[in-house]
Amino acid sequence: MTKEELKLFLGFQFMKGIGIKTAKSLIAQSGGIENFYSLSKVQLKNLEGASDKLVQKIKRKEALKEAEEYLDFLTREDLSVFNYLSPLYPRRLKHCADAPLLLFGKGNLDFDYPKTVAIVGTRNATPYGKMLVEELIQKFAEHKLQVVSGLAYGIDIHAHKLCVNYGLSTVGVLGHGLDRIYPAIHKNTAQQMMAKGGLLTEFLPGTKPDRENFPTRNRIVAGMCDATIVVESGEKGGSLITAYLANDYNRDVFAFPGDVNKPYSKGCNKLIRLQRAHLISSSEDLFYLMNWEKSAPEAVQIPLFLELNAEEQNIVDLLRDKNEQSIDELAYHLKQPVSQVSTTLLNLEFQGCVKSLPGKRYLLAV
């Protein structure tokens, strides 16, 4: 991503009244983020979701001026920035409608691990909970899984520390900007995580660890992962929020049962009772239920013998190069309106060339 593109994406952080879903829709309908900034107000009003009231609130020039102030800091601190259309953006998170436009990262971040798991739980971890986490991490080390958590007290930091000890990639998702570490006592562990993994946030540098930020960041933890494991939890708390978000994203959720009289087993027992999580007693249960013990069959490639027009061929080439893509991503790369891309995709589906997936995502059918 060029410095100019980064400024354009940063600009959306300073536009009042535009939520994540609306922003993505406006960018796609404009045929790309550059086009969005060059549209007149009349043209903006013609876009779906851009009411007169919203258009009056959008101050694009002022937003870009504010974005400019952050560019030097991001470059100076050597932070990685991922926009939602980039192939480097966490691919599982891309499937979530409320995934952030931008993510800021620090460390050696790789979001393309075949298996990624969230481990979450109470800040008041017991010896029982810590034992469960260690058993999981030992197993994960054999299969080179990536572990995501929130760098919080208790289960989170215990999982991160064990990953560092066992040489596993681990990512801490923060509820504040990357100019600080919260809690500060975890700064040393955060630094050790940089070698293989690192830190990730949607919040701009300078954002404080305010209470309301943490439930928001939990959706990133849930969305980045194939599965979420709740180790210990009270009847209420952030780990339950993460579990419910993972449910909403159609991701698998697992929980360890515990003593019904223990306060930090009540959350896990509740998830299991309400059938919001699968009961597991060990890593073996997780691997069995996720079908991870079996090796995947070799993919069979069938050649295409279709006469495609230029627009169809462009989409086929993109899907061949980038694999699965959303209609918004295709529109961005092709610099075409979503309606035009949608028509071409429909033609390709009729020809049996493209397969549609939930969430308006597409891949080659062969």
pTM of the model: 0.80
Helix, strand, coil % in the chain, rounded to nearest 5: 50, 15, 40
In the block, residue with structure tokens 């309301």? 212
Q: Give me the torsion for CA of 310, 314, 315, 316, rounded to 10°.
A: 90
Can 1-74 and 108-289 be said to share one CATH topology?
A: no
Burial grade of 110 (CB within 10 A; 0-12, 13-18, 19 or more): middle
pLDDT at 361: 80
**Mean pLDDT, the chain, as a whole number?**
91
The percent of residues in the chain predicted with pLDDT above 90, rounded, is 70
Pairing status of strand 361-364 against strand 354-357: antiparallel
Residue type, 102: L
Supply the pLDDT for residue 306.
Answer: 62
pLDDT for res 295: 45
Cα–Cα dist 185/188, whole Å: 7
What does the pLDDT read at residue 358?
66
* pLDDT band, residue 20 (cuts 50/70/90): very high
332 within 8 A of 338, measured Cβ to Cβ: no
Question: 359 with 95: CB under 8 angstroms?
Answer: yes
Residue extents of the structural domains in the chain: 1-74, 108-289, 310-364
Task: Report the candidate in 119, 118, 128 with the shortest Cα–Cα distance to residue 90.
Answer: 118
Least confident residue range of 327-331, 351-355, 356-360: 356-360
Q: How far apart are CA 173 and CA 202, in angstroms?
A: 9
Helical (H) or strand (E) element with 342: helix 338-350
Contacts of 270 (CB under 8 A, 6+ apart): 235, 240
Using only C-alpha atoms, the chain has a radius of gyration, in whole angstroms, of: 22
At 320, is the pLDDT very low, low, confident or very high (cuts 50, 70, 90)?
A: confident
CATH architecture of the domain covering 310-364? Orthogonal Bundle (1.10)
Q: What local confidence, expressed as pLDDT, does residue 302 receive?
A: 35
Give the confidence band of 294 by pLDDT, cuts at 50, 70, 90. low
Say which CATH class 108-289 falls into: alpha beta
Topology classification of domain 1-74: DNA polymerase; domain 1 (1.10.150)
332 versus 265: the higher-pLDDT residue is 265
- Average pLDDT for residues 14-33, to the nearest whole number? 91
Q: How far apart are CA 23 and CA 253, in angstroms?
A: 30
Whether pLDDT at 293 is above 80: no
The secondary structure of 88-100 as a DSSP string is: TS-HHHHTSTT--
Instruction: For strands 102-108 and 252-255, give the pairing.
Output: unpaired
Task: Tell me: pLDDT of 300 over 60.
Answer: no
